Amino acid sequence: MTKRDAFLPVAAQPSVDALVEQAQRAEDYGYDRAWLPESWGRNAAVVLTSIAERTETIGIGTSIMPVYSRSPALIGMTAATLQEVSDGRLRLGLGPSGPIVIENWHGMDFGNPLRRTRETVDVVKQVLSGEEVSYDGEYFDLDGFRLRSDPPEPQPHIDAAGMGPKAVELAGRFADGWHALLLTEDGLADRYEDFRHGRELAGEDPDGGQVTLSLTCMALEDRERAREAVKQHVAFYVGAMGTYYRDNLARQGYEGLAHGIHDDWQAGNPGEAMARIDEEFLDTIAVGGTPDECRERVAEWESMDCVDRVSVSFPRDASVDEIIATVEALAPDA
């Protein structure tokens, strides 16, 4: 049975308390897990600690924690600590982020993100096992590290984010699950075959592992506002966040649209970029409208065989009130 999660906002929020309140609301409404991204705002580990201390049953997770901004040993230590403070409720999501974030803001060479992600997952698993870490890789050559505290019990699962075929295959081969983002239904089905192939290469059940789809949603009585918000969100990611999201959309058969949105946004014309997104396309990649419309559409995504969890996420300019309204409207039992 597909479970429904809440993906806490990537956009700036008024306070840590606001994020904790959103997680508490999600817990009250029956969501299974609260995922928190880490971009260029608050430290995800600190916020998740606050959430863990002020909730009781809802799972917590990072989606995603970039593999360039912390060493693998530190990521392992952080995951072990979060698993302890949450009483075993953590699931760790890792990924490379993108060159704009990593090179411009962290001052790191983006290099080979697939290799670095794989090595990070490998090392973090060794750290979390409690055994002495010995690793000889292209990026990391480690020997002698061991957790000073008891290893977490149970050991948290590790997911990897990915959009391209090789990245998704990597998630299937080396991680316990895959985090999918900005995919149409057809695009998701195509990439799922890459995930299954990765599982096969690892000697695992190809139908195993966990697929979590982050789905941008806005469910409001003001239908026009809801759809405008999700449209702006899609246009921003394709147009403003480097070339990863643009190429991801082009790979799904929307090359002209992807490049048009990107070029308009880069030329300083966000309104024209948004205008390229028609109603039909918007409904293939996001969920926006009245509560009844959105509940029906989310259920359709959840009915896909390749989806284990839909993570209800929110447009980047959504207000706290709009986020809470959407969390309530799309509650699993609503």
The residue with tokens 């982020």 is 97
Residues 51 and 34: beta-carbon distance below 8 Å: yes
Range 315-320 contact pairs with CB under 8 angstroms and sequence separation of 24 or more:
315/216, 315/218, 315/229, 315/230, 315/232, 315/233, 316/9, 316/10, 316/11, 316/232, 316/233, 316/236, 317/11, 317/229, 317/232, 317/233, 318/9, 318/11, 318/218, 318/229, 320/13, 320/14, 320/18, 320/22
Give residue 107's pLDDT band: very low, low, confident or very high (50, 70, 90). Answer: confident
Strand partners, 288: 218
Give the pLDDT score at 146: 97
Distance CA(257)–CA(238), nearest Å, equals: 10
DSSP code string of 4-58? EEEE--SS--S-HHHHHHHHHHHHHTT-SEEEE--SSSS-HHHHHHHHHHT-SS-
| pTM for the predicted model, two decimal places | 0.95
By the 8 A CB rule, do 183 and 211 touch? no
pLDDT higher than 70, residue 1: no
Residue 68 identity: Y
Residue 40: is its pLDDT beyond 90? no
Q: Mean pLDDT over residues 120-124, rounded?
A: 98
Fold of 3-219+287-329: TIM Barrel (3.20.20)
Q: What is residue 301's predicted lDDT score, i.e. its pLDDT?
A: 97
Q: Where are the domains of the chain?
A: 3-219+287-329, 222-286
Strands (E), the chain: 3-7, 33-36, 59-66, 90-95, 133-136, 141-145, 158-161, 177-181, 210-219, 287-289, 309-313
Q: How confident is the model at residue 106 (pLDDT cuts 50, 70, 90)?
A: confident
**Tens of pLDDT, residues 230-284:** 999 999 999 998 888 999 999 999 999 999 999 999 999 999 999 999 999 999 9
Listed range (8-12, 63-67, 97-101, 214-218) with the worst mean pLDDT: 97-101
Backbone φ, ψ for residue 170 (5° rounding) = -60, -45
Task: State pLDDT tens for residues 182-208.
Answer: 999 999 999 999 999 999 999 999 999
Mean pLDDT across the chain:
95
Question: Dihedral angle at the C-alpha atoms of 300, 305, 309, 313, nearest 10 degrees?
Answer: -40
Q: 255-266 and 223-240 are packed helices; what angle lies between their axes, rounded to 10 degrees?
A: 80
User: pLDDT band at residue 98, thresholds of 50, 70 and 90?
Assistant: confident
Structure tokens at 178: 């895959």
Q: Note the pLDDT of residue 104.
A: 80
Which residues have CB under 8 Å from 34's CB, separation 6+? 5, 6, 8, 22, 23, 26, 27, 51, 55, 58, 59, 60, 61
Q: What angle do CA 79, 85, 91 make, to 5 degrees?
A: 40
User: Which phi and psi (to 5°) does residue 288 adopt?
Assistant: -150, 135
What are the residues facing 44 on neighbouring strands? none
Of the candidates 170, 193, 48, the one whose C-alpha atom is nearest the C-alpha of residue 117 is 170
